């Protein structure tokens, strides 16, 4: 006779699997619209709140994995070092003989081989690792915020250019379209871009810490 | 219709555009030097040169190859390829040999970009080419030897 606790465990496992498989739908609901922050009357406090909401995207593994603090990109929701082992190289596109483009094409590609935990190879025409001065791995949201505002560490961008980058850049946009088997970042790029625009409009104030 | 160059010859393919380049090379063009290893870009056995750079053909839809030049182990030529071939033979690098065409494609690409590679350069280029016989030390030695031959 089947033990009732085992049945419960099986049911819990099935529910967990269902929740995992629905991760994409969850994530789509996980980013508040900027209007939800209108109730905060102090512009500085509102600016911080808007950036903290945008931080749900910025600190998601889909983004941080390619903003590593070292010379190897990361992979997966557990942010393990990239396999096979690859290195950023002088131009952040890998090393001669094994550039990012050795595996990553212009688009996501569903794999033909059998793998329990890999369903697609991510792709984008400009696939690369963020320069080391743009590393986000291991940093607090406040530290990342200050970094994003610093032209020495943001690719020489003004705040207006940061808004455009976040709202329109297609490599940033990959986070919402990461290919089969990968959880997308929450919300949409449109909402994310609007959060960043409103954060800048309210003074681009960074969270403490 | 997808048109590309394979080892210098013009080819076309009118099948499913999602067909992996590896399938086209092996099943349609009957060039079996390029191997199927894992099918998930983890082992390097299927490595070819696409427009002069290494590319894992198992994760390359043929649609993305339109207008490109593909080189397989059968079409490899030039000073680096000749040096690698001699170095590989000289110290009997392969054991079972299954991974070797992929190893050689990566090694030649490395030497084309970096004629005098350090151990770190070799690790960077070759870390994605797995050898189940663990001939890594001989692969590294042969790359250094090939580099010396080109220099000499």
Identify the pLDDT of residue B151: 86
- Distances in Å between the Cα of A155 and the Cα atoms of A138, A142, A149 are 20, 19, 10
User: Span B79-151: which CATH code?
Assistant: 1.10.150.120
Identify the pLDDT of residue B59: 97
Residue B15 clears pLDDT 80, i.e. is over it: yes
- Tens of pLDDT, residues B59-82: 999 999 999 999 999 999 999 999
Q: How far apart are alpha carbons A179 and B82 in whole angstroms?
A: 40
Could you give the residue range(s) of every CATH 1.10.150.120 domain in chain B?
79-151
Q: What is the mean pLDDT of residues A117-122?
A: 94
Identify the pLDDT of residue A98: 96
Class of domain B2-75: alpha beta
Of A113-127, A174-188, B37-51, where does mean pLDDT reach its minimum?
A113-127
Give the residue numbers in A contacting B (CB under 8 Å), as ranges.
83-87, 89, 94-99, 101-103, 105-107, 109, 111-115, 118, 121
A71 pLDDT band (50/70/90 cuts)?
very high
For residue B51, give every residue at least 6 positions away whose Cβ sits within 8 Å of its Cβ, in sequence order, or none. B68, B69
Separation in Å, CA of B51 to nearest CA in chain A: 11
- Tens of pLDDT, residues B80-113: 999 999 999 999 999 999 999 999 999 999 999 9
Sequence ranges of the domains in chain A: 24-82+132-201
Nearest CA in chain B to A84: B128
Angle among Cα B40, A136, A42 to the nearest 5 degrees reads 130
Could you give the residue range(s) of every CATH 3.10.20.30 domain in chain B?
2-75
- Across the interface, whether the CB atoms of A97 and B42 are under 8 A apart is answered no
What's phi and psi for B11, nearest 5 deg? -130, 160
- Tens of pLDDT, residues A13-28: 444 444 444 333 334 4
Number of inter-chain CB pairs under 8 A, A vs B? 90
Q: What is the mean pLDDT of chain A?
A: 89
| % residues pLDDT > 70 (chain B) | 100
Identify the pLDDT of residue A2: 38
Residue A72 clears pLDDT 70, i.e. is over it: yes
Give the residue numbers in B contacting A (CB under 8 Å), as ranges.
20, 38-42, 44, 47, 53-56, 58-61, 64, 106-107, 109-110, 112-114, 121, 123-128, 130
A29 pLDDT band (50/70/90 cuts)?
low
| 3 state DSSP class of A43 | helix
- Across the interface, whether the CB atoms of A97 and B54 are under 8 A apart is answered yes
């Amino acid at each position: 006779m089947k033990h009732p606790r085992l049945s419960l465990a099986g049911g819990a496992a099935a529910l967990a699997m269902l929740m995992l498989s629905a991760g994409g739908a969850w994530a789509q609901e996980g980013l508040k619209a900027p209007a939800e922050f209108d109730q905060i009357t102090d512009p500085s406090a509102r600016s911080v709140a808007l950036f903290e909401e945008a931080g749900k995207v910025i600190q998601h593994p889909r983004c941080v994995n390619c903003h590593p603090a070292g010379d190897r990109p990361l992979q997966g929701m557990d942010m393990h070092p990239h396999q096979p082992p690859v290195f950023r190289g002088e131009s952040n596109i890998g090393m001669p003989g094994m550039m990012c483009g050795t595996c990553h094409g212009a688009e996501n590609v569903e794999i033909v081989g059998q793998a329990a935990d890999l369903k697609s190879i991510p792709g984008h025409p400009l696939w690369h690792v963020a320069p080391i001065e743009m590393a986000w791995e291991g940093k607090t949201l406040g530290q990342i915020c200050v970094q994003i505002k610093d032209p020495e560490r943001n690719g020489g961008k003004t705040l207006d250019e940061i808004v455009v980058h976040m709202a329109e850049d297609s490599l940033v946009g990959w986070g919402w379209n990461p290919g089969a088997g990968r959880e997308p970042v929450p919300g949409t790029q449109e909402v994310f871009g609007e959060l960043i625009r409103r954060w800048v409009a309210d003074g681009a104030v960074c969270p403490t810490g | 219709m997808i048109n590309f160059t394979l080892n210098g010859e013009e080819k076309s393919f009118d099948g499913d555009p999602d067909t992996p380049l590896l399938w086209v090379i092996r099943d349609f063009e009957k060039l079996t030097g390029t191997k199927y290893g894992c099918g998930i870009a983890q082992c390097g056995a299927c490595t070819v040169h696409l427009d002069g750079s290494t590319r894992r053909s198992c994760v390359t839809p043929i649609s993305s190859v339109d207008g490109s030049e593909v080189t397989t182990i059968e079409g490899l030529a030039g000073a680096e390829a000749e040096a690698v071939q001699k170095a590989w033979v000289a110290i009997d690098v392969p054991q079972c040999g299954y991974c070797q065409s992929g190893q050689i494609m990566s090694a030649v690409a490395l030497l084309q970009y970096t004629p005098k590679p350090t151990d770190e350069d070799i690790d960077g280029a070759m870390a994605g080419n797995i050898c189940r016989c663990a001939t890594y030390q001989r692969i590294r030695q042969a790359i250094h030897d090939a580099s010396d031959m080109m220099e000499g």
